[in-house]
Amino acid sequence: MHVARFKPNTLGRDIAVGDIHGCFTKLKKSLERIRFNPSKDRLFSVGDLVDRGPESHQVLDWLDLPWFHAICGNHEQLTWRRAIGQAIQEVDHRVHGGLWLDDCTPDEQSLIAQRLQALPLAMEIETPLGLVGMVHADFPYEDWQHIHTQAFDANDRYVCMWSRDRYVTGYDGLVSGVRALVHGHQTTHKMRQLGNVFFIDTGGWLDHGHFTLLDLKRLVAL
């Protein structure tokens, strides 16, 4: 699936969370703090569910939750590629927090690869005030609708999962076609907004960091 689309949540809140990196217990505590209600609220992950933290093996349990939705980050790609014996040679997954995968059985690795490979590259969440888009790292165009065209190619997908260009350059041009676009990937000490693009990986997986929980209707951190 290339882009997953979600209708408006008429019961509760839609909330985006930054990179989780195997720190699900810490995430639970953050959700408790904002009184997250799984019977009404939905949680959308910008990717990087696994690696670095101590609980990456819990990823399948979270993907089974009906209120939890995630896109594919670069660490998901690193994980599933190595799990099927096609490791990305330019990046050593083990060095970047991937040792946990070696502790999984071959059957577990196969299932993990299947589930992570099936994650969408992007999500669109309808809100009462307009469409919110989500890709892990960056977006190579100034019009969101380009993601739905046949011209959107492998290099564009690479940018979506790996690039830091907008953040590094501080480019604050608007991405048309969406009210807001949400990224993780680039760790920052507090949420950063450039144009209508929000970077929300505030290092919740680090001892000194915290999870940013972004209300997608109001576009404010909770």
The catalytic residue positions are 75
Express each pLDDT in 138-149 by its tens digit: 999 999 999 999
Q: Which domains does the chain show, CATH number per domain?
A: 3-221 (3.60.21.10)
Q: Is the pLDDT of residue 1 over 80?
A: no
Task: State the Cα–Cα distance between residues 45 and 30, nearest whole angstrom.
Answer: 14
Whether 186 contacts 164, CB under 8 Å: yes
Averaged pLDDT for residues 139-162:
96
Percentage above 90 pLDDT, the chain: 100
Token pair of 44, please? 């959308």
Express each pLDDT in 192-204 by its tens digit: 999 999 999 999 9
Read off the pTM: 0.97
Whether 222 contacts 200, CB under 8 Å: no
Task: State the Cα–Cα distance between residues 2 and 74, nearest whole angstrom.
Answer: 15
Compute CA distances 164 → 69, 131, 181, 187, whole Å.
23, 23, 14, 10
Q: Which secondary structure element, helix H or strand E, spans residue 6, and what is its range?
A: strand 3-6
Rounded CA Rg of the chain: 16
Which pLDDT does position 98 carry in this prediction?
98
Q: Can you tell me whether residue 82 is helix, strand or coil?
A: helix
Task: State the Cα–Cα distance between residues 9 and 42, nearest whole angstrom.
Answer: 8
| Residue type, position 43, single letter | L
Name the H helices within 45-103: 59-63, 74-83
Token pair of 26, please? 């810490």
Q: How many CB atoms lie within 10 A of CB 133?
A: 22
Task: State the Cα–Cα distance between residues 212 and 222, nearest whole angstrom.
Answer: 7
What pairs with residue 214 in β-bridges? 16, 221
At 133, the pLDDT band (50, 70, 90 cuts) reads: very high
Whether 2 contacts 121, CB under 8 Å: yes
